Structure 1
Amino acid sequence: MSADLPIPEPKKLHFIEEIVEADRASGKHGGRVLTRFPPEPNGYLHIGHAKSICLNFGLAKAYGGGTNLRFDDTNPVKEDVEYVDSIREDVQWLGFQWKGEHYASDYFPFLCDYAEYLIQQGKAYVCDLSEAEIREYRGNFHTPGRPSPYRDRSPEENLDLFRRMKAGEFSDGSRVLRAKIDMQSGNMNLRDPLMYRIRRAHHHRTGDTWCIYPMYDYAHGVSDAIETITHSICTLEFEDHRPLYEWFLEQDAEGKFFQRPLPRQIEFARLNLTYTVMSKRRLLQLVQEGIVRGWDDPRMPTICGLRRRGYTPEAVRAFAERVGVAKRDMVADVGLLEFCIREDQEKRAPRRMAVLRPLKVVITNMTDAEAFEVEVANHPDDPAMGTRRLPFTRELFIDQDDFREEAPKKWFRLAPGAEVRLRGAALVTCREVLKDAAGNVVELRCEWDAASKGGNAPDGRKVKGTLHWVSAPHAVKAEVRLYEPLFTQEDPMDVPEGQDWKALLNPASLEVLTDARLEPSLRDARPGERFQFERTGYFAVDPDGRPGAPVFNRTVGLKDSWSKIEAKG
């Protein structure tokens, strides 16, 4: 390496990488790294889950390990195979492949066997208290818990009752199995937590085989241990659950059930995003109440919503990397997510011309016979993307925002008497403005400099303004959907007591333009294709369209320098 070149600094490890490095150095787990991503199949994944996916899969890959995809399907009431399929698709779309696909329901027999072992060891008991009574007996942060009157049942009685629960002898909610830990603990999770409840519900995988289902806190750690997970990475809300995670596994003191060393739970800060809600319950409410068009509505923070909006897996992974891994909860600015997709698409998206709010332009000193084709690059910085040819005719469309009848200072677009460059084609000057009965501008009469083909003046005069355009006779009519944040406030959850959080919904989160005009090459654009509409933003083809009548979603706009100038006055 040349002495003149700086030596790059080694990448700084985040705290989870430091833990993994230390474990590998000590020989723990034989240097093996196996993580897991354990979603509940009761909803669609969102951008917060994307961060967790990138962390779990990326960490394992960095150390030559693997990641299991494990569905935590312990609550049949809320689960559906639709969610399972969507989760698989989202993980693969992000660019990851799991080592093994597992389900908590795979381990139902094992979980029952281990529960019976804990009962026999005097570490679990069947409790007849109602849900409300259990809550009352548990106390709170200021009041110690009281032991259940059923806490001292013998192991033999508890084992008999648990087996009868499993056999379906008792009604739903009449009995539960609880771990026998410490009703005086300052950690509420250790005050004899529930392990099993009776729930007669059809399970999407096991059918009606079971009428008792394990609780998450019990099933989660045991499932990790069964799969010999090395590092169980969770978000911070599970920090207070870690002692319970460890307690369940450590009761296997003789190592009859689990391989040593046991998995280690590590918590990191979950991702929150400005102008966004991440609660599955609230996202479901948005869908069920028809506030959005579905889980894949491009305004939703779901991975499928981002995909439909035009985000790429590379951009989402870059966002997760830039956000980083922290120990304290944080809120990422949605602007960072937008920056990542702009950065990605700036390099890769082919350019096209599209007029979203068309204003007709007629070149009065040009005949139909003088129409010609212009050749323009598909990407200004990537010759490998090639070029395309566009028709230039005497009747054109430009965007309404590119004309002002009374132009302010530093206005370099079209105005009466002003000359502009039509991108790659010619120079034109506005000579006349036509209006309708209501006074709205409906047509501009312009003259062109026939010697300026290609867009440059033959006499070398400087023309600062350059506009995009499309030929009116050849334009493709399309629907374009413009998206803004779904909420008007950075933190939609920060609402006064008693106020409905939905009062902060942004009524302008979606604007549908039904009369946009696009260049001919976009006529048969396929769903999922992405383009930069010159001077406007990045757009993706929506599956709602059809050949000849495409629909486009705006992924993100370009930085608008004029709006900043105008805002300053």
Structure 2
Amino acid sequence: MSDIINNNFIHNIIKKDLLKNPKKKINTRFPPEPNGYLHLGHAKAIFLNFNLAKKYNGTCNLRFDDTNPKTENLKYIKSIKKDIRWLGYLWNNHSNYTSQYFKKIYQYAKKLIKKNLAYVDQLNQIEIKKFRGTLKEKGINSPFRNQTIKKNLSLFKKMKNGFFKEGEMCLRAKINMKSNFLLLRDPVLYRIIYKNHYHTKKKWCIYPTYDFAHCISDALENITYSLCTLEFLENKKLYKWILKNLNFKKNPPIQYEYSRLNLEYSILSKRKIKILIKKKIIKKWNDPRLLTLSGLRKKGYTPNSINNFCEKIGFTKQNSIIQLKLLESCIRKDLNLTVHRKMAILNPVMLIITNYPKNLKEILKVKNHPTNKNMGFREILFSKKIYIEEEDVKKKILNSKKKISDIKIKLRYAYVIKIYKIIKDKNHNILHILGKYKQNTIGKKLNNSLKNKIIHWVSKKNSIPAIFKFYNKLFLKKNPEKEKNILNIINPNSYYINKGFVENSILTYKINTALQFERLGYFLYINYNIKKNFLIFNKIVSLKQKKYSNKF
């Protein structure tokens, strides 16, 4: 069990409770609204709730908060279940739905009316907002607040039976319009929505609000700890008020809050993601530039890396912005231990080794992993014509202070090459480079002048064309959630592609295999276009800067 689960403040609360009541059963829940795909913030909640339940031999329910048929869809339910399973978690027996409690929730609403703690308000939404007041101004009672219990019951029944239009009436709790807490100024408990529900179909035309339905559902499922993020801190007062006045007094669920996830240069708001899709900034929820779990999976992130990230960030009451490099370090660490190494060229420049025999086929035996012998070896072909990286040409050849005829480079796992000529077109673009190889330099110790001249390469005879997709930060600002219009801060270079070459041994690997392209980073092999004969890769994460070994 994770040390984070053992040491966070929620664990300490549970530990104290169990000292008082050792037989107390620990029940948690994960209650997503099926109006979008899960994101990294949801992964944090999943990690906490499921692991706490596991630690204390309790249960964790999956319950869909399906109280708004206008925005919810079965496709989101399927994607949510898929993401939870992908992370490695199983919920208790079967999934629950708030909609399965609609009949009971309706009866609880009537109970509040009968206790004169709820009323049917005939103000519209604009009027309700106006009457509610502000943080500086107290609210004003609705003129319908003091209707008789009998009239409220009658109107509520008519609401249920479809007598009124949407927005014409709603059920509100009768708490305190002068409260310092806006949420306690007679919050809405039920509203009219004429929309077919995927579960209950047309049975209902009134739906409970999240605040009303959530605490009742928790109580009905015997949830002991209702864990949520800090933006629900004020809702806690309403949570308690509802349970208390509905007589859920014996071991009621208790709400505790922890900090929500904020990751730099990213958004997690489903509403804002929908804006990006509508404006065609991105196509779908699984765009690799998003922090949706499906987007991260498509990019090449693993369940283990996501869980490790959730463990590292921990659970506190302190809001903060997490650096992207922490997330990247988790996937990098995971892949470093498990993936094969290959060579690829993203921006190819041809190097012709003029003194290398034209028909010679020299096979080099190379490790698939520098430290894991169990991953075996692969064979790569060395030939007269090879591709090298344009960036290496610029930094290690063109940027050299030496004369072209004095420049030497070391090909990874292969020979030392002496460059003697660069062929350019009339626009000074490099066509190809000419060089000569020095025999007997494979595996030899390098002198100091060559230690920083080691480059990777791919043989023309031993390669296959490839497309490399790069997904960078979607936003230019560090905290886009604070921006009024996120469309103004879109990074124009958040997505681009390169065309190059890879070792053709990759054809033996399955689609969705992660690989490390040496000196370049980790990539996910996502497709092979057989007709046009090229492979497609998604960039997962760059390599951590390090010194490369000289033993080639």
Mapped pair 1:526 → 2:515: no
Does residue 329 of the first structure (1) align with residue 322 of the second (2)?
no
1:466 equivalent among 454, 457, 460: 454
Q: Separation in 2 of the partners of 1:331 and 1:104? A: 32
CA distance in structure 2 between the aligned counterparts of 1:23 and 1:153, rounded to whole angstroms? 43
SS in 2 for 1:184: coil
Correspondence 1:189 to 2:183: yes
Q: 2:520 maps to what in 1?
A: 536
Percent identity, please. Answer: 38
Partner of 2:398: 406
Superposition pairs of residues 298-377 of structure 1, within 5 angstroms: 298-377=288-367
1:266 and 2:256 matched: yes
SS in 2 for 1:266: strand
Tell me whether 1:102 sits opposite 2:96 in the alignment.
Answer: yes
Instruction: Give the alignment of 1:19-98 within 5 angstroms.
Output: 19-27=13-21, 30-98=23-91
**Cα 1:544/1:287, change in 2 over 3 Å:** farther
Secondary structure of the structure 1 residue equivalent to 2:468: strand
Give, as a single letter, the amino acid of the residue that structure 1 aligns with 2:44: K
Question: Aligned runs of 1:248-287 on 2, under 5 Å?
Answer: 248-253=242-247, 258=248, 260-287=250-277
Structure 2 CA distance for aligned equivalents of residues 545 and 494 of structure 1: 42
Cα distance in structure 2, aligned partners of 1:301 and 1:416 = 49
The alpha carbon displacement at 1:120 in A equals 1.4
Q: Note closer, same or farther for the CA distance 1:147–1:544 as it changes in structure 2 (3 Å cut).
A: farther
In structure 2, C-alpha distance between the alignment counterparts of 1:462 and 1:147, rounded to whole Å: 83
| 2:422 match | 433
The amino acid of 1:468's aligned partner reads H
Distance 2:486 2:305 in 1: 30
Could you tell me which amino acid in structure 1 is paired with residue 19 of structure 2?
A: A
Residue number in structure 1 paired with 2:550? none
Q: Distance between the aligned counterparts of 2:426 and 2:457, measured in 1?
A: 26
- Residue pair 2:5, 2:51 contacting (<8 A) in 1 also: no
Contact 1:118 1:251 survives alignment (8 Å):
yes
Question: Secondary structure of the residue that 2:105 maps to in structure 1?
Answer: helix
Aligned residues: 540
- The alpha carbon displacement at 1:260 in A equals 2.5
- Match of residue 491, structure 1, among 479, 489, 511: 479
CA contact (8 A) 2:243 2:249 kept: no
Q: 1:438-496, CA deviations, whole angstroms, 9 ceiling, x for partnerless residues?
A: 111121111112323x4436x9897423221111022110110122211122112444x
Deviations 1:359-410 (A, max 9, x none): 111111112332211111111011111111111111111111111343347x
SS where residue 228 of structure 1 aligns? coil
The reply on whether 1:508 has 2:489 as its aligned counterpart is no
Contact 1:70 1:102 in 2 (8 A): yes
Q: Distance in 2 between matches of 1:138 and 1:241?
A: 16
| Partner amino acid, structure 1, of 2:456 | H
Residue 470 of structure 2 is aligned to residue 476 of structure 1: no
Match of 1:566 in 2: none
- What letter matches 1:139 in structure 2? G
Q: In structure 2, do the counterparts of structure 1 residues 340 and 461 end up closer, same or farther at CA, with 3 Å as the change threshold?
A: closer
311-320 or 516-525: bigger deviation: 516-525
SS at match of 1:325: coil
Amino acid aligned to 1:191: R
- 1:565 aligns with none
Q: What letter corresponds to residue 211 of structure 2 in structure 1? A: D
Aligned counterpart, 2:232: 238
CA distance in 2, matches of 1:330, 1:136: 33
TM (normalized to structure 1)? 0.91
In 1: Cα distance, 2:232 partner to 2:223 partner? 17
Q: Tell me the alpha carbon deviations over residues 115-164 of structure 1, each in whole angstroms, 9 at most, x when there is no partner.
A: 11111121111111111111122112112122212112222221121111
Amino acid at match of 1:129: L
State the AA in 2 paired with 1:477: P
Q: Do 2:380 and 2:462's aligned partners in 1 also have CA atoms closer than 8 Å?
A: no
Cα offset, 1:560, TM superposition: 4.3
Secondary structure at the counterpart of residue 15 of structure 2: helix
Does the 8 Å contact 1:524/1:550 carry over to 2? no
2:518 is matched by which residue type in structure 1?
A: E
Give distance in 2, aligned partners of 1:15 and 1:259.
25
What is the aligned-residue RMSD (CA, Å)? 2.2
C-alpha displacement of 1:500: 3.4
Consecutive unaligned residues of structure 1, counting only runs of 5 or more, are: 1-8, 563-569
Amino acid at match of 2:191: R
The alpha-carbon distance between structure 1 residues 393 and 261, as it changes in their structure 2 partners (threshold 3 A), is same
SS in 2 for 1:369: coil
**How far did residue 175 of structure 1 move?**
1.0
The structural deviation recorded for 1:543 is 5.0
1:13 and 2:3 matched: no
SS of the residue 1:213 aligns to: strand
CA distance in structure 1 between the aligned counterparts of 2:448 and 2:215, rounded to whole angstroms? 74
Residue 417 (structure 1) aligned with residue 409 (structure 2): no
* Displacement after TM superposition at 1:421 (Å): 2.2
Alpha-carbon spacing, 1:348–1:416, altered in 2? closer, same or farther (3 Å): farther
Give the deviation of 1:191 after TM superposition.
1.1
Structure 1 distance, partners of 2:257, 2:511, is 39
Structure 1 contact 25–31 (Cα < 8 Å) conserved: no
Kindly provide the CA deviation profile for residues 491-521 of structure 1, in whole angstroms up to 9, marking residues without a partner as x: 12444xxx733221111111211x2100011
Cross-structure match for 2:285: 295
Q: Secondary structure at the match of 1:512?
A: strand
User: Who is 2:440 aligned against?
Assistant: 451
Of the structure 1 ranges 133-142 and 523-532, higher mean CA displacement relative to structure 2 is found in 523-532
CA distance in 1, matches of 2:10, 2:364: 55
Partner of 2:138: 144
Report the CA distance between 1:418 and its aligned residue.
2.3
Counterpart AA for 1:74: T
Paired with 1:544 and 1:394, the residues of 2 have a C-alpha distance of 27
Calculate the TM-score normalised by the size of structure 2. Answer: 0.93
Tell me the distance in 1 between the aligned counterparts of 2:479 and 2:290: 15
- Per-residue CA deviations over 1:511-558 (Å, capped at 9, x if unaligned) read 211x21000112354332101100000111235856942211111111
Q: Do the aligned partners of residues 182 and 545 (structure 1) sit closer, same or farther apart at CA in structure 2, a change above 3 Å counting? A: farther
The Cα of 1:65 is off from its aligned counterpart by 1.8
Distance 1:213 1:344 in 2: 45
Q: 1:85: Cα distance to partner?
A: 1.0
- SS state at 1:442 partner: strand
